[in-house]
């Protein structure tokens, strides 16, 4: 059985790593890793491959940045010849980025089976491009690997046949479990070692709704600066975020806001593990903080990972900066939400996916 894995952005790298490792232990399975180049910055791509122990990609499509339409079209055009040359039995796509839906469309039209890892995630907000990617990918996939029961319910409600759906758990947590010891070691030896035992807030923001609107970004930065007066802030700034404000001016005005370049997986995981509270607009960070038991405040009106709110440590604060400050105060007053780890978030999701694939090969 020949399997092509398609990845494009750093959340995909964290998801594909445990699946590749699990399949490598199976007899008779050949794997090909395709990197679309959607994330091409060294800090957003190369370092993740290195720290996750991923093999160098067999093929890099070199797509780079662009509008959603341009990027998706480029991936489709460049990926089709790869499928025609390699003739895979199955393509595995991950998450909800443009690479995900583009590769799924190519394979579906060429009659190649598609497996979608992280299927069934829904925010209910179709103004978010990723929501469209999720809906389309799930409708044309043959195997849908979900990470929680709500994903199964979403797919069944949308008419997906029950036999296609496999509840396997969260592959991103597989990576976190495996690399936490290395992240801890790097934390104790790295530049953040002096922060051990000190309270701090970890911030990461990248969504256009937060950083692409100057007025909203200004409100966010003002609020973060205000919080830094009572709780130091570490803010690894995504490349998209750094383009939207004057980093040096912000550093000079707000010395307790420690702005940094984007960090590798190990560095960020160590910071996340020891943070007093994490503020984000990500998807995976909501899951990782839930597993780690770290309070998480998400600057979004909705989430495609509601289990992190219903069971985990995540609180949606929307774009209400007064609510954000109030929730930080709750954390500092010992009133943080105490969550639980959802079922099957145990480090073995990759093995479950491999078992399903071995059964159909």
The pLDDT assigned to 139 comes to 98
What pLDDT was estimated at residue 39? Answer: 65
338 in any annotated domain: no
Residue at 287 is within a domain:
yes
Given pLDDT bands bounded at 50, 70 and 90, which one contains residue 177?
Answer: very high
Distance CA 204, CA 283 (A): 11
The answer to which of 63-72, 113-122, 155-164, 270-279 has the lowest mean pLDDT is: 63-72
Q: Is position 272 within any domain?
A: yes
At residue 211, the pLDDT reads 86
In a domain, 14, yes or no: yes
Whether residues 164 and 41 fall in one domain: yes
Q: 38 is in which domain, residue-wise?
A: 2-170+345-360
pLDDT of 263-279, one tens digit each?
889 999 999 999 999 99
Strands 277-280 and 296-298: parallel
CATH of the domain at 50: 3.40.50.2000
Query: Could you tell me if 139 and 256 lie in one domain?
Result: no
Number of other CB atoms surrounding residue 190 within 10 Å: 16
Q: Which of 20-24, 101-105, 235-239 has the weakest average pLDDT? A: 235-239
Q: How many domains does the chain divide into?
A: 2
pLDDT band, very low/low/confident/very high, at 214 (cuts 50, 70, 90): confident
Structure confidence at residue 48 (pLDDT):
82
How far apart CA 291 and CA 171 sit, in angstroms, is 12
Asked if residue 48 is part of any domain, the answer here is yes
Whether 163 and 30 map to the same domain: the answer is yes
The pLDDT value recorded for residue 191 is: 87
The string over 238-264, giving b where at least 16 C-beta atoms fall within 10 Å of a residue's C-beta and e elsewhere, is beebeebbebeebeeebeebbbeebbb
Residues 126 and 13 in one domain: yes
Residues 151 and 219 in one domain: no
Query: Residue 45 above 80 pLDDT?
Result: no
Q: Is residue 339 part of a domain?
A: no
Residues 224 and 115 in one domain: no
When mean pLDDT is compared across 4-18, 101-115, 209-223, 283-297, the lowest value belongs to 209-223
Segment holding 358, helix H or strand E: helix 349-360
pLDDT band at 17 (very low <50, low <70, confident <90, very high): very high
Question: Is pLDDT above 80 for 224?
Answer: yes
Q: Based on the fold, state whether residues 116 and 263 are members of the same structural domain.
A: no
337 inside domain? no
Do 311 and 243 sit in the same domain of this protein?
yes
| 21 and 143, same domain (yes or no) | yes
Tell me what pLDDT residue 361 has. Answer: 63
Q: Does 321 reside within a domain?
A: yes
- Whether 224 and 306 map to the same domain: the answer is yes
DSSP-based three-state secondary structure for 349: helix
Question: Which stretches does DSSP call E strand in 109-251?
Answer: 113-117, 143-146, 165-167, 201-204, 233-236
Percent of the chain with pLDDT over 90: 79
Mean pLDDT in residue range 64-70: 90
Mean pLDDT of the region 1-8:
97
Q: Which of 262, 256, 222 is nearest to 242 (CA)?
A: 262
Mean pLDDT to the nearest integer, 88-106: 98
How confident is residue 64, by pLDDT bands cut at 50, 70 and 90? Answer: confident
- Number of residues that this document lists for the chain: 361
List 278's β-bridge partners, or say none.
202, 296
Mind telling me the catalytic residues? Answer: 206
Q: What pLDDT shows up at residue 344?
A: 98
Answer whether 304's CB lies under 8 Å from 282's CB: no
Predicted confidence at residue 206, as pLDDT, reads 87
d(CA 64, CA 53): 23
Average pLDDT over every residue of 230-256: 84
Question: What is d(CA 233, CA 218) in angstroms, rounded to the nearest whole number?
Answer: 16
What is the pLDDT confidence band of residue 44, given thresholds at 50, 70 and 90? low
Do 162 and 183 belong together in one domain?
no
Higher pLDDT residue, 173 or 43?
173
Q: What is the three-class DSSP state of 305?
A: coil
First to last CA, the chain: 6
Q: Answer yes or no: do 149 and 206 share one domain.
A: no
Average of per-residue pLDDT across 1-17: 95
């Amino acid at each position: 059985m020949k399997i092509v894995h398609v990845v494009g952005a750093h959340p995909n790298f964290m998801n594909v790593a445990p699946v590749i490792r699990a399949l490598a232990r199976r007899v008779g399975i050949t794997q090909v890793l395709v990197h679309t180049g959607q994330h091409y910055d060294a800090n957003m791509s190369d370092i993740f491959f290195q720290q996750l122990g991923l093999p160098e990609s067999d093929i890099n499509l070199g797509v780079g940045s662009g509008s959603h339409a341009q990027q998706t079209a480029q991936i489709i055009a460049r990926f089709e010849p790869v499928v025609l040359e390699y003739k895979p039995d199955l393509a595995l796509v991950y998450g909800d980025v443009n690479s995900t839906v583009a590769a799924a469309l190519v394979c579906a039209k060429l009659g190649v089976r598609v497996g979608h890892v992280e299927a069934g995630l829904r925010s209910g907000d179709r103004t978010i491009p990723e929501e469209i990617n999720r809906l389309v990918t799930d409708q044309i996939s043959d195997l849908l690997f979900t990470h929680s029961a709500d994903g199964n319910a979403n797919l069944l409600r949308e008419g997906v046949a029950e036999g296609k759906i496999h509840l396997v758990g969260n592959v991103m947590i597989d990576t976190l479990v495996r690399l936490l010891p290395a992240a801890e070691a790097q934390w104790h030896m790295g530049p953040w070692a002096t922060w051990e035992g000190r309270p701090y807030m970890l911030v990461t923001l990248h969504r256009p709704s937060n950083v692409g609107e100057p007025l909203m970004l200004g409100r966010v930065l003002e609020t973060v600066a205000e919080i830094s007066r009572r709780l130091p802030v570490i803010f690894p700034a995504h490349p998209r975020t750094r383009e939207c404000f004057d980093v040096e001016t912000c550093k000079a005005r707000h010395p307790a806001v420690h702005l940094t370049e984007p960090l590798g997986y190990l560095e960020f995981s160590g910071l996340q593990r020891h943070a007093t509270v994490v503020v984000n607009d990500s998807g995976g960070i909501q899951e990782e903080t839930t597993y780690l038991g770290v309070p998480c405040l998400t600057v979004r009106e909705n989430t495609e990972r509601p289990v992190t709110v219903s069971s985990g440590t995540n609180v949606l604060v929307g774009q209400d900066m007064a609510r954000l400050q109030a929730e930080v105060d709750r954390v500092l007053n010992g009133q943080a939400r105490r969550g639980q780890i959802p079922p099957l978030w145990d480090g073995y999701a990759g093995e479950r996916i491999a078992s399903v694939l071995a059964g159909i090969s």
